Amino acid sequence: MPRIDRIAEPWGSRTPYGPGETWPVRVDSYLADGLTEDDVDRWAQSATILHSNGDGLDIAVKDDRIVGVRGRAVDRVNHGRLGPKDLYGWQANNSPDRLTKPLIRRDGELVETDWDTAMDAVAGRCRELLDEQGPSSIAFYTTGQLFLEEYYTLGLIAHGGIGTNHVDGNTRLCTATAAAALKETFACDGQPGSYTDIDHADVIALYGHNMAETQTVLWTRILDRLAGPNPPQVVCVDPRETPVARAATVHLAPRPGTNVMLMNALLHEIIGNGWVDRDYVDAHTVGFDELAKRVEDYPPEVAAEVCDVPVEDIRKAARIIGHARRLLSTVLQGFYQSHQATAAAVQVNNINVVRGMLGRPGCGILQMNGQPTAQNTREAGADGDLPAFRNWSNDSHIKDLARVWNVDPMDIPHYSPPTHAMQMFRYAEEGSIRFLYVTATNPAVSLPELARIRSILAQDRLFLVVQDIFLSETAQLADVVLPAATWGEKTGTFTNVDRTVHLSEKAVDPPGEARPDLDILIDFAHRLDLRDKDGEPLVKWSDPEGAFEGWKECSKGRPCDYSGLSYDKLRGGSGIQWPVTEEHPDGTEHIYVDGQFWAEPSYCESYGRDLVTGAPLDGTEYRALNPSGRAVLKAAGYLPPHELVSEEFPFQLITGRTLYHFHTRTKTARAPQLQAAAPEVWVEMAASDAGDRGWAEGDLLEIRTPRGRVEARLRISGIRPGVAFLPFHYGYWDQPGGDRPDGHGRAANELTLTDWDPCSKQPIFKTAAAAVTRLAAGDGPSAAPTTTGSRPVSADVPPTRGGTAAEAVEVLAQGGAR
């Protein structure tokens, strides 16, 4: 069987196809230690977890250990393909340094203990605080990496049992703007697009989205269209020369933080030239006149100046988008992690809406998620929102939720918008939050301004519980550490960006005494003795399928309706797109068909916000604006970034990802092929910036902002001049699981600022002003990958290769390139 080094060739072989054709099948697999499929004892059905794409796969098991993975040919998402992180990342499950016993802090040290002692300490401290200070002293900070069943249970415990409003996920750092932008335009979360739109689109526009590295299989789908007949045109908006930029018909590389200016100029051209579907706008929208008037002030000449992009490129991009017959737009962190995040993302929605490009094949918006299960954090109400897109400011929605949970409506906090993560950390800093229960996230590396975060997490008065699979940087600061089972070791469901629900089956037992997150949460609820209004236990299930059945009831009749799904139905075939109901038993590929939205005032999830101040609108205001539930076209003026460059801090600092690592690397650094591909932090700068200063590839630089400093070796790349890029994957411990802080010198978030978008409250990771100096000349190139956005401009950097250790199998169903 053909073997390919998938470190060297992250996207594998091409299987070209044309518009409207079916994407050919290509089954990718990787088994450890030279095993073949004949050696495998059994396969367990699941999907990928180190990104949001939701590629169906099977987990290979031999001698009760995970030994590899194979893509599922029948799955609608990937047609068998897997990306490098999927092929190699599962090895972290088998890492010898997994947490296997609970830990508790005694005399300043974390020591091993038994589950009873650990859980009594957790529930005991929580109960004490509830009695002394009330529910507002309790907070939960969760993730986009657990299962739907776990979030739903957590939301029930926190909102319905404890009654705190302080529940959020790291999804605040990740997809808060996706949700916010959808709520602004459609008054409800829920992804309008479908991945199959790639099969039909004639124009694909990617805004601040390095899909090639962050959803590799989705990008493979685009590459296969680009290699086929009548390929789509691609528009890329990104200040770096990413693989997306290289494949684009037009690449706009704006100054970081100027997205709204650029979007307004694109809309200026589109509306000004009449590239508008007037019938659609008249029948299905409100707000067009304000939008048209607002963007009059943003001619391309002005944007060209502010964004520093050639005016003819802006016009060209607008013409391509304006003439598209089937337009797919995708948005991610280059838009979401900035000061006008929601305002910018909403302008992307506006383009598709004014062009009438929604609800049919090839016409979609993907306000992308990042994490594998972030969609579920939002749906199930573990990000502060209420379950199943219920509206916290609509009393009848609260009453309905109270019915499902059998609690009193007044017991569900809904007196103000849910507390967002950045505010929760502020409350912990000020001392009003005294108990913080962290599940499956590593805030000591991933939150902005780490010196501050460390000091908050290390406070004596804060009781910190960390539930993880490794002793992360955050876990090392905890009072109690709870060892969790993870993907492959527990069962549950999760939903990807395009609403596809997958079942992930347990393949093997967790190591040592580690337990599924769901079991731990239910144990916590029982120890707190949480009850419903009839005195029965509040949490009525004891296993994942029971939780799923509870969720089906909760979601029935709401937009994200799972009531027609079951575990059995998800077994054997492809993932299925919600809503799944009696009328649509096989799921729903396109929502918002014929301009039908979930925006009707009594049904919608959100009444929207002011894009500048973030203040929520109330029901009366919303009814006046949008009585019949149309799409809302919201305009926004451009505001400059909050932290501007100066003589002292002349570089714009942006941060982000590389193809081979996931976040704080707790998993990918433990997969040898991935770690070797990007072993240490680097900083990207343009050749002109390096040349002006006499710096060379591989020189050791110091990057400094008013918050901290990082040392990194220089990669001279195709990034725009004046901008420096740092990957944020490298935490401050020497090696994952190591116990020696190395002086806090390499985590990008030492440098980032405590500031957020007013509407989505998503932190600004993509614009800060930095000083860069050289500490030492290098003795060779930096270790940054050459296959990605960090591709060197110079030819003498050795290419990134995985060698035989990274050879994966690729089986083409129809003749492809190999």
Ligand X SMILES: Nc1nc2c(c(=O)[nH]1)N[C@H]1C(S)=C(S)[C@@H](COP(=O)(O)OP(=O)(O)OC[C@H]3O[C@@H](n4cnc5c(=O)[nH]c(N)nc54)[C@H](O)[C@@H]3O)O[C@H]1N2
Query: How many residues line the site for ligand X (CB under 6 A)?
Result: 66
What whole-number distance in Å separates Cα of residue 427 and Cα of residue 448?
A: 16
Instruction: Kindly state the smallest distance separating residue 174's Cβ from Mo ion, in Å.
Output: 3
What whole-number distance in Å separates Cα of residue 158 and Cα of residue 167?
A: 7
Q: Please choose, from the candidates 309, 526, 452, the residue with its C-alpha nearest in 3D space to the C-alpha of residue 755.
A: 452
Q: What are phi and psi of 437, to 5 degrees?
A: -110, 110
What are the angstrom distances between the C-alpha of 51 and each of 35, 174, 312, 673? 26, 11, 35, 18
Q: Which of 78, 349, 376, 439 binds ligand X (CB under 6 A)?
A: 439
Q: Which of 217, 765, 791, 816 binds ligand X (CB under 6 A)?
A: 765
Q: Collect all residues with Cβ–Cβ distance below 8 Å to 125 and sequence separation of at least 6.
A: 435, 463, 479
Which residue is listed with tokens 């859980």? 119
Instruction: Kindly state the smallest distance separating residue 172's Cβ from ligand X, in Å.
Output: 9
C-beta closer to ligand X: residue 284 or 339: 339
Instruction: Kindly state the smallest distance separating residue 140's Cβ from ligand X, in Å.
Output: 13
468: amino acid identity, one letter: D
Q: Which of 472, 491, 563, 673 binds ligand X (CB under 6 A)?
A: 472
What whole-number distance in Å separates Cα of residue 537 and Cα of residue 103?
A: 28
- What's 749's DSSP letter? G
Q: Which residues ranging from 671 to 710 are in contact with ligand X (CB under 6 A)?
A: none
C-beta closer to ligand X: residue 269 or 383: 383
Instruction: Kindly state the smallest distance separating residue 718's Cβ from ligand X, in Å.
Output: 11
C-beta closer to Mo ion: residue 373 or 504: 373
Instruction: Kindly state the smallest distance separating residue 344's Cβ from Mo ion, in Å.
Output: 17
Q: How far apart are the first and last CA of the chain?
A: 11
440 binds, among ligand X, Mo ion, none (CB under 5 to 8 A by kind): ligand X
- What's 669's DSSP letter? G
What are the angstrom distances between the C-alpha of 314 and each of 57, 306, 550? 41, 12, 50
Among 396-404, 530-538, 654-662, 708-716, which window interacts with ligand X (CB under 6 A)? 654-662
Which residues form the interface with Mo ion (CB under 5 A)?
174, 370
Instruction: Kindly state the smallest distance separating residue 535's Cβ from ligand X, in Å.
Output: 31
Q: Which of 655, 675, 717, 787 binds ligand X (CB under 6 A)?
A: 655
Instruction: Kindly state the smallest distance separating residue 170's Cβ from Mo ion, in Å.
Output: 7
Q: Collect all residues with Cβ–Cβ distance below 8 Å to 220 and sequence separation of at least 6.
A: 11, 12, 81, 83
Q: Which of 342, 491, 705, 752 binds ligand X (CB under 6 A)?
A: 752
601 binds, among ligand X, Mo ion, none (CB under 5 to 8 A by kind): none
Instruction: Kindly state the smallest distance separating residue 763's Cβ from Mo ion, in Å.
Output: 11
256 binds ligand X (CB under 6 A): yes
Among 13-21, 235-243, 352-360, 800-808, which window interacts with ligand X (CB under 6 A)? 235-243
654 binds, among ligand X, Mo ion, none (CB under 5 to 8 A by kind): ligand X
Among 189-197, 231-239, 291-299, 406-414, which window interacts with ligand X (CB under 6 A)? 231-239
Among 124-132, 255-263, 277-285, 393-401, which window interacts with ligand X (CB under 6 A)? 255-263
370 binds ligand X (CB under 6 A): yes
Pairing relation of β-strands 233-237 and 26-31?
unpaired
What are the angstrom distances between the C-alpha of 503 and each of 487, 667, 679? 11, 21, 33
What whole-number distance in Å separates Cα of residue 312 and Cα of residue 550?
A: 55
Among 64-72, 277-285, 534-542, 649-657, which window interacts with ligand X (CB under 6 A)? 649-657
Instruction: Kindly state the smallest distance separating residue 393's Cβ from Mo ion, in Å.
Output: 27
C-beta closer to Mo ion: residue 178 or 291: 178
Q: Structure tokens of 365?
A: 């918006």
511 binds ligand X (CB under 6 A): no
What are the angstrom distances between the C-alpha of 795 and each of 196, 239, 682, 699, 809? 38, 22, 18, 17, 30
495 binds ligand X (CB under 6 A): no
Task: Give the bridge partners for 205, in sequence order.
Answer: 235, 329
486 binds, among Mo ion, ligand X, none (CB under 5 to 8 A by kind): ligand X
Q: Which of 187, 223, 263, 332 binds ligand X (CB under 6 A)?
A: 332
129 binds ligand X (CB under 6 A): no
330 binds ligand X (CB under 6 A): no
359 binds, among Mo ion, ligand X, none (CB under 5 to 8 A by kind): none
Q: Collect all residues with Cβ–Cβ distance below 8 Å to 538 and sequence separation of at least 6.
A: 156, 157, 160, 161, 405, 407, 525, 530, 531, 532
787 binds ligand X (CB under 6 A): no
Q: Which of 334, 381, 510, 550 binds ligand X (CB under 6 A)?
A: 334
200 binds, among ligand X, Mo ion, none (CB under 5 to 8 A by kind): none
Instruction: Kindly state the smallest distance separating residue 701's Cβ from ligand X, in Å.
Output: 17
653 binds, among Mo ion, ligand X, none (CB under 5 to 8 A by kind): none
What are the angstrom distances between the C-alpha of 792 and each of 7, 531, 696, 782, 799? 17, 60, 11, 10, 9
Cα 352 to the center of its chain, rounded Å: 22
**Pattern 596-635, ligand X, x by CB under 6 A:** ----------------------------------------
Q: Which residues ranging from 163 to 182 are in contact with ligand X (CB under 6 A)?
A: 170, 173-174
788 binds ligand X (CB under 6 A): no
Per 3-state DSSP, the chain is made up of helix, strand and coil in percentages (nearest 5) of 35, 20, 50
**Ramachandran category for residue 21: left, alpha or beta (phi over 0 → left; psi -120 to 50 → alpha):** beta
H-assigned helices in 33-114: 84-89
Q: Which of 27, 407, 469, 812 binds ligand X (CB under 6 A)?
A: 469
Among 100-108, 388-396, 496-504, 656-664, which window interacts with ligand X (CB under 6 A)? 656-664
What whole-number distance in Å separates Cα of residue 605 and Cα of residue 559?
A: 9
Among 8-16, 115-123, 507-515, 662-670, which window interacts with ligand X (CB under 6 A)? 662-670
Strands (DSSP E) found in 200-269:
203-207, 233-237, 250-252
Q: Which of 29, 220, 264, 333 binds ligand X (CB under 6 A)?
A: 333
Instruction: Indicate the Cα dihedral angle 712, 715, 720, 721, nearest 10°.
Output: 70
420 binds ligand X (CB under 6 A): no
54 binds ligand X (CB under 6 A): no
143 binds ligand X (CB under 6 A): yes
Cα 335 to the center of its chain, rounded Å: 13
CA-based Rg of the chain, rounded to a whole angstrom? 25
DSSP 395-461: HHHHHHHHHHHTS-GGGS--SSSPPPHHHHHHHHHHTS--EEEEES--HHHHSSSHHHHHHHHT-TT
321 binds ligand X (CB under 6 A): no
CA angle 171, 176, 177 (to 5 degrees): 145
Positions touching ligand X (CB under 6 A) are 51-52, 85, 143-146, 170, 173-174, 207-210, 213-214, 237-240, 242, 254, 256-257, 259, 332-335, 337-338, 370-371, 439-443, 445-446, 467-470, 472, 484, 486-487, 517, 654-657, 659, 661-664, 666, 728, 748-749, 752, 765-766, 789
